[in-house]
Copies of this chain bind each other. A is one copy, B any other.
Amino acid sequence: MALIVQKYGGSSLESADRIKRVAERIVATKKAGNEVVVVCSAMGDTTDELLDLAEQVNPVPPEREMDMLLTAGERISNALVAMAISAQGAEAWSFTGSQAGVVTTSVHGNARIIDVTPGRVTEALDQGYIALVAGFQGVAQDTKDITTLGRGGSDTTAVALAAALEADACEIYSDVDGVYTSDPRIVPDARRLDTVPYEEMLELAASGSKILHLRSVEYARRYGVPIRVRSSYSDKPGTTVAGSIEEIPVEQALITGVAHDRSEAKITVTGVPDHAGAAGSIFRAVADAEIDIDMVLQNVSNTQGRTDVTFTLSKANGPSAVSELEALKEQIGFSAVLYDDHVGKVSLVGAGMRSHPGVTATFCEALANAGVNIEIINTSEIRISVLIRDEQVDDAVRAIHEAFELGGDDEAVVYAGSGR
């Protein structure tokens, strides 16, 4: 008898009808002889509707109350799924994150899981019940306030539960049937991957892939939880995310996939005096505003002893980063702050590049042949990323996918709402 954790996202739960279909799958899994724990996100549009109501009563709602409000969404969906399960001949109990023992930091809106003590979940399983656990939420260890976990929080809840319960499998269901070599909407011959090691999945998630969220993959890797990415619309086996690149024999290491990201913008601070501390002041100012930066490029200084400092960041943070820097113009003595939000990032990921010289060369040649200009390049042991013009992202993705022969013969199966 295996213990299986399943997670269903909002689009899989967007109506009473979808809820009943999900319940059928859960009951089938139970009847096959397994213990089943299910994590549900809020139904389809619920979170957006709640955010809208909040904004109507307060344009800048207090974070503690936002967490109290949004967590109602998961409460509703998990209770409804439990009811649907009951109508289909099995028994189920739903629990909030707090009741399920998900203990977190007290950072509202972006709490991290500190510990999971799922006593009531285990008790439910022992009594033959299916346990539903509200995703995306927990209780703060110090204040005992309810918290939400930030982006991908329901995936993280599922993986954390799987780790704490020593589950045999953690299945993440959405409307895509696995992790692909690239986005099938851009690359028609993108191929579904059977397996992806943790480190590669981390790089793909950090590079724009929306299939799994970074934090949940980090958690899975730390606790050794294998994740299966599957579609709630079919019985296909999906993709398994597990194992380390260290376990792959050198000769089998591959190039795995191409990710893209249109969510970043580029800031260039021009005419920065080339003395120790100038660049540091720029990065410190941005960091103090709690803004994360991604790619960095600093040119060699010109004959006047000045240089340009360029970096990328999330578009959402663009305007505030610009104003933070503008305020320091006199103090640091640079010429101007330029903002460019027509950039895109394209990344190639694969353990194989560690042992195959020439990958970088092939990568750059493919882009050059496609007429794509590289503005910034940034690499890790298993990833090459470039910043390019956003209107060239699709061409770049296809060119790289082709150059590394990642395509398959089968037409990629794309479901409605594919991508998450």
Contact = CB atoms under 8 A, between A and B. Distances in A.
Nearest to A75: B72
Q: Taking the full assembly, how many copies of this chain does it contain?
A: 2
Contacts of A252: none
A54 B43 CA distance: 13
A59 B87 contact: yes
Interface residues of A, number: 40
Given A80-B53, A93-B64, A58 B72 contact: no
A69 interface: yes
A324 to B, nearest CB: 26
A296 interface: no
Contacts of A94: 65, 68
A57 interface: yes
B68 A82 contact: yes
A207 to B, nearest CB: 36
Contacts of A80: 53-54, 57, 69
Given A65-B83, A72-B79, 8 more contacts: A53-B80, A58-B84, A60-B87, A62-B91, A65-B86, A69-B75, A72-B72, A99-B144
Closest 3 pairs between A and B when the two form their complex, measured CB to CB: A16-B56, A69-B79, A58-B87
Nearest to A68: B79
A57 B93 contact: no
8 contacts: A23-B57, A54-B80, A57-B83, A60-B87, A62-B83, A66-B83, A69-B83, A72-B73
A19 interface: yes
A254 B324 CA distance: 73
Contacts of A68: 75, 78-79, 82, 94
Contacts of A206: none
B79 A75 contact: no
A83 B58 contact: yes
Nearest to A19: B57
A71 interface: yes
A20 B57 contact: yes
Contact of A82 (B16, B20, B62): B62
Contacts of A69: 75-76, 79-80, 83
A58 B90 CA distance: 12
Interface string A89-106: 001111000010000000
